[in-house]
């Protein structure tokens, strides 16, 4: 509440003067007491120093938040800061930053570097950046840059550093061999297959369930009151600052757009010259010269190929850009030929050849006018990213002067969003869901850790994607709900439990019959269930056989049966028919040598 009082006092001119004098006195006092780093700003924000490289608090915070978000997406649930610390996420993030800094300095000391071609190839070969035709898609690349909040130069710089770290790490650990028992275990976990037969018992297999009596429902409610308790609901105002909501292509000048076009036109808007290359191989230069003389005298290229038992379809190497041809001698000769011409004998890396280029597709470059709108859309987010830091500082200044978020949003032309009333899982009292917040679980948890009137620190979005400010305006505490309030929910849950209980009992009967020697296909036919057979790996899963079923399958001995519930899809009964693991071929070990020294 002290901060709220300072804000209110700071709204008047006299209050501002008093606060300025007070904070000025504090700053001067700190300086007199010897805390010089408050002015120098050096060393106070470093959590670790590796050689000459400082790892700042901001770097660690960003790495930690990225790891936390990634883990929550994998687990599909919220992870509290306490649990994250218990899992050691903060230490893992710091360890990784220290390792990266060590590898970067090692590479610099050894004079190592990653070439532009290596970085370019890694991007062009990344399956996440390819379109349906399997080609590098510039639009996907730009979407990635916008999502990460970086420009092309920054991304390439980071990619170069990551590649170098991977190369150095492989040099260090590449020769380390795991123990044989561990290799065998890993081989089994990766490659074991289970052949199973299974049937799915749908909810309808539970039979007709009559409506419960009022007394039964009340008893069910009384035994589970905590499950029907109303959670805490919160209401907040949320202000979001991202490059996306600042980007305005119409404000990109023609000069800036043209400058960007010149930088990227060859990669983004140009298609290199492509040639269809044909070749005939010869065992010697003399035979190639004799064949060339025949062609010059009027014999066709195809006829010469046929005389060497080469089918016409096999004459063509393919269609290539200049960079696409691996053999330098063949590349230079092929791209020096006129269309339809046959080369002199060429000594390539794989023998002597005659080359012909039947088709040439000329290089093409789209003009600036054709792609001006696309270039402006490309430039706008990077310009917005540059403005974001400046606008963030201005918003923080306004927050320090106790301005409400609504006024700040109006002043800077930003949209203010209302959140809630909603619970910590975004559920509303009417059963609908609140729209997800920017920053996801991190923002939600921050709102539910805060309080009314608290001056909340801005939540930083991952990958420098922006900032989120919020003010909690209302808190509705959790409370017990009466039976009449939740009667419909109680009946729905009672019915779901009854269906699950009946399906479990029916599945247990089938499992007992299978273990007694009956056949699953016969049981399925007799009871009207669809019979299925399949082969599974540990990582395989589907809607019919989700992860919990697959895990149980691999925990059941061959020849035995089991069952498992499937969310919103009844229950699966399965029988493991066989478990197989392919042979593991381990590389032979080098014999040890000894010497008498």
The two three-digit tokens of residue 442, written as one number: 């991190």
Q: Tell which CATH classification among 1.10.150, 3.40.50, 3.10.50, 3.30.70 matches the domain 189-226+486-580.
A: 3.10.50
- Residue bearing the bigger pLDDT, 71 or 449: 449
The average pLDDT across 236-257 equals 79
The average pLDDT across 447-468 equals 83
Separation between Cα atoms, residue 164 and residue 112, nearest integer Å = 8
Q: Write the pLDDT tens digit of every residue in 397-441.
A: 888 888 888 888 888 888 899 998 999 889 998 888 998 888 888
Strands (E), 183-242: 193-201, 233-242
**H-type alpha helices, 134-206:** 138-148, 152-173, 180-191
The yes or no reply on domain 273-362 and CATH 3.10.50.40 is yes
Greatest mean pLDDT range, 17-31, 166-180, 254-268, 571-585: 571-585
Separation between Cα atoms, residue 468 and residue 443, nearest integer Å = 8
Alpha carbon distances (Å) from 91 to 81, 98, 159, 442:
13, 10, 24, 19
- Cα dihedral 96/97/103/104 (nearest 10): 150
The two three-digit tokens of residue 353, written as one number: 């050849």
DSSP 452-503: TT--PPPEEEGGGTEEEEEEEEEEE--B---TTTTHHHHHHHHHHHHHHHHH
Question: 271: which strand partners?
Answer: 364
DSSP 563-584: EEE-TTS-EEEEEEEEEE-PPP
Omega cis (within 30) before 421: yes
Q: What pLDDT does residue 509 have?
A: 92
**476 within 8 A of 497, measured Cβ to Cβ:** no
Q: Write the pLDDT tens digit of every residue in 323-350.
A: 777 778 888 888 898 998 999 998 887 7
- Tokens 């690349």 identify what position? 141
- Residue bearing the bigger pLDDT, 76 or 239: 239
User: What is the DSSP-derived secondary structure letter of residue 265?
Assistant: I
Q: Are strands 274-282 and 316-321 parallel, antiparallel or unpaired?
A: antiparallel
Q: What pLDDT does residue 39 have?
A: 39
Q: Write the pLDDT tens digit of every residue in 518-561.
A: 999 999 898 889 999 999 888 888 888 888 889 899 889 989 99
């Amino acid at each position: 509440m002290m901060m709220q009082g300072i804000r209110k006092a700071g709204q008047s001119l006299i209050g501002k003067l008093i606060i300025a004098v007070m904070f000025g006195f504090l700053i001067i006092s700190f300086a007199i007491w010897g805390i010089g780093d408050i002015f120098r700003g050096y060393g106070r924000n470093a959590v670790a120093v590796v050689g000459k490289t400082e790892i700042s608090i901001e770097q660690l915070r960003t790495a930690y938040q990225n790891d936390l978000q990634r883990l929550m997406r994998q687990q599909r649930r919220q992870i509290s800061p306490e649990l994250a610390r218990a899992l050691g996420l903060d230490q893992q993030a710091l360890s990784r930053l220290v390792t990266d800094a060590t590898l970067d300095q090692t590479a610099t000391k050894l004079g190592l570097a990653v070439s532009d071609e290596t970085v370019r190839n890694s991007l062009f070969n990344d399956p996440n950046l390819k379109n349906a035709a399997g080609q590098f898609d510039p639009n996907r690349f730009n979407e990635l840059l916008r999502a990460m909040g970086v420009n092309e130069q920054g991304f390439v710089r980071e990619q170069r550093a990551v590649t170098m770290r991977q190369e150095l790490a492989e040099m260090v650990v590449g020769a380390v061999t795991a123990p044989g028992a561990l290799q065998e275990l890993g081989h089994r976990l990766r490659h074991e297959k289970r052949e199973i037969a299974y049937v799915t018992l749908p909810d309808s297999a539970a039979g007709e369930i009559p409506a419960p009596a009022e007394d039964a429902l009340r008893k069910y409610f009384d035994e589970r009151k905590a499950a029907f308790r109303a959670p805490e609901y919160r209401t907040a105002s949320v202000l979001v600052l991202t490059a996306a909501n600042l980007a305005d292509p119409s404000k990109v000048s023609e000069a800036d757009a043209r400058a960007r076009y010149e930088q990227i036109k060859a990669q983004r808007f140009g298609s290199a010259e492509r040639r269809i290359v044909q070749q005939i191989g010869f065992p010697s230069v003399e035979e190639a010269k004799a064949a060339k003389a025949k062609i010059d005298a009027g014999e066709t290229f195809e006829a010469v190929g046929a005389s060497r038992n080469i089918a016409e379809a096999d004459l063509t190497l393919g269609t290539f850009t200049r960079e696409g041809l691996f053999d330098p001698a063949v590349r230079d000769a092929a791209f020096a030929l006129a269309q339809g011409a046959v080369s002199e004998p060429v000594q390539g890396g794989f023998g002597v050849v005659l080359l012909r280029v039947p088709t040439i597709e000329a290089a093409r470059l789209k003009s600036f006018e054709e792609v001006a709108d696309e270039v402006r859309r490309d430039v706008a987010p990077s310009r917005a990213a540059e403005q974001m830091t400046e606008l963030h500082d201005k918003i923080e200044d306004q927050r320090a002067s106790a301005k409400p978020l609504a006024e700040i949003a109006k002043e800077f032309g930003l949209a203010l969003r209302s959140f809630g009333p909603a619970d910590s899982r975004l559920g509303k009292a009417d059963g609908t869901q609140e729209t997800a917040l920017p920053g996801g679980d991190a923002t939600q948890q921050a709102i539910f850790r805060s309080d009314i009137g608290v001056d909340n620190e801005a939540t930083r979005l991952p990958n420098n994607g922006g900032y989120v400010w919020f003010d909690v305006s209302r808190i509705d505490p959790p409370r017990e709900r009466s039976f009449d309030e939740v009667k419909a929910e109680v009946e729905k849950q009672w019915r779901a439990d009854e269906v699950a209980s009946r399906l479990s009992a029916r599945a247990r009967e089938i499992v007992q019959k299978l273990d007694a020697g009956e056949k699953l296909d016969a049981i399925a036919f007799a009871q009207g269930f669809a019979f299925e057979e399949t082969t599974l790996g540990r990582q395989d899963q589907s809607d019919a056989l989700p992860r919990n079923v697959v895990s149980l399958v691999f925990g059941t001995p061959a020849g035995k049966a089991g069952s498992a519930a499937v969310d919103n899809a009844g229950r699966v009964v399965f029988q493991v028919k066989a478990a197989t693991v392919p042979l593991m071929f381990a590389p032979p070990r080098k014999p040890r040598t000894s010497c008498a020294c």
